[in-house]
């Protein structure tokens, strides 16, 4: 049993069910009332008084459209918990892919037509070979060579020096990589085998805008 001190005057003994609710929310929060009820095989109406007591006493806090969370967590911790439950696979966009033989001129045109900051370069088998950024293309444009004659594989960043992510990665992991490596986007990849060698297939992309969108959506999650 847990004893709850109210107003620094009296102690109230929590019931076994209230202890279980605290344990669930502490380990899995933010979590909705319906989810807590399902875990205890009870109805939402049955739990409502317990949730009200725990919330008024300060053990739990509740956020509209998000759920209940243990009040011992700070706001940044809560935001982090929520973001860790949002995954790349739910936010990735279609990748913009070009071949190694594509000229710098064609790459520049593709970059502006698709309105992206990074192009992913694949080899003849369609596997990730490199990445070309706006900065790479700008540097190439400052040279004296004809852009139509320079293939992107001359200026691209090559494997294995490319930072990637996987569909199962959380948005928090992606945000850390974008910040730590000071890049604008990451290719979302899936590992394949090619003649016994591990290769990467590009299945999407995530950007700083992707991460911003995910964090903004935290405010409009499911109702408690």
Predicted pLDDT of residue 112: 94
CATH of domain 88-215: 3.10.580.10
Residue ranges of domains in the chain: 3-73, 88-215
186 pLDDT more than 80? yes
What is the spatial distance between Cα 132 and Cα 207, in angstroms, rounded to a whole number?
15
Percent of the chain exceeding pLDDT 90 equals 58
Give the pLDDT of residue 12. 52
Query: How far is the C-alpha of 33 from the C-alpha of 21, rounded, in Å?
Result: 10
More confident residue, 224 or 62: 62
Tell me: pLDDT of 75 over 80: no
Backbone angles phi, psi at 183, to 5 degrees: -125, 160
Q: pLDDT digits over 17-69, tens only? A: 998 998 999 898 889 999 999 999 999 899 999 898 888 777 888 888 788 88
Q: What are the φ/ψ torsions at residue 72 (nearest 5 degrees)?
A: -70, -10
Q: If you average pLDDT over each of 19-33, 36-50, 103-117, 130-144, which comes out highest?
A: 103-117
The alpha helices in 115-223, defined as continuous H runs, are: 134-141, 171-180, 208-217
Flag whether pLDDT at 189 surpasses 80. yes
- Position 24 scores a pLDDT of 92
Place of tokens 């590009």: 202
Which pLDDT value is given to residue 224?
41
Burial of 93: CB neighbours in 10 Å, binned 0-12, 13-18, 19+: middle
pLDDT-derived band at 216, boundaries 50, 70, 90: confident
Lowest mean pLDDT among 1-5, 79-83, 145-149, 174-178: 1-5
Q: Name the residue among 40, 43, 44 with its Cα closest to residue 67.
A: 44
The conformation of residue 15, written as its DSSP 8-state character, comes to P
The whole-number average pLDDT for the span 178-203 is: 94
Give domain 3-73's CATH number out of 1.10.1370.30, 1.20.1290.10, 1.10.3720.10, 1.10.10.10.
1.10.10.10
Q: Quick one: pLDDT band at residue 77, thresholds 50, 70, 90?
A: low
Q: What are phi and psi of 162, to 5 degrees?
A: -115, 130
pLDDT of residue 221: 52
Is residue 111 a contact partner of residue 98, using CB atoms and an 8 Å limit? no
What tokens were used for 3? Answer: 């004893």
Between 215 and 224, where is the model more confident?
A: 215
Confirm if 92 and 206 have CB atoms less than 8 A apart: yes
Q: What is the mean pLDDT of residues 89-105?
A: 96
């Amino acid at each position: 049993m847990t004893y709850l001190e109210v107003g620094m005057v009296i102690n109230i003994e929590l019931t076994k069910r209230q202890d279980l609710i605290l344990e669930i929310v502490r380990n899995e929060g933010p979590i909705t009332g319906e989810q807590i009820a399902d875990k205890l095989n009870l109805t939402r109406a049955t739990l409502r008084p317990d949730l009200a007591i725990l919330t008024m006493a300060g053990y739990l806090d509740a956020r509209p459209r998000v759920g209940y969370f243990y009040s011992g967590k700070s706001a940044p911790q809560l935001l982090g918990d929520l973001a860790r439950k949002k995954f790349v696979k739910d936010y990735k966009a279609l990748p913009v892919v070009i071949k190694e033989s594509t000229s710098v001129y064609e790459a520049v045109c593709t970059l502006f037509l698709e309105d992206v900051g990074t192009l992913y370069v694949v080899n003849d088998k369609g596997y990730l070979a490199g990445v070309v950024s706006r900065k790479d293309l700008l540097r190439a444009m400052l040279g004296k060579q004809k852009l139509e004659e320079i293939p992107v594989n001359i200026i691209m960043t090559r494997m294995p020096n490319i930072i990637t992510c996987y569909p199962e990665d959380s948005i928090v992991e992606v945000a850390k990589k974008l910040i730590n490596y000071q890049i604008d986007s990451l290719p979302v990849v899936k590992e394949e085998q090619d003649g016994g060698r591990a290769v990467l297939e590009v299945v999407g992309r995530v950007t700083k805008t992707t991460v911003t969108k995910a964090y903004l959506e935290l405010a409009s999650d499911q109702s408690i």
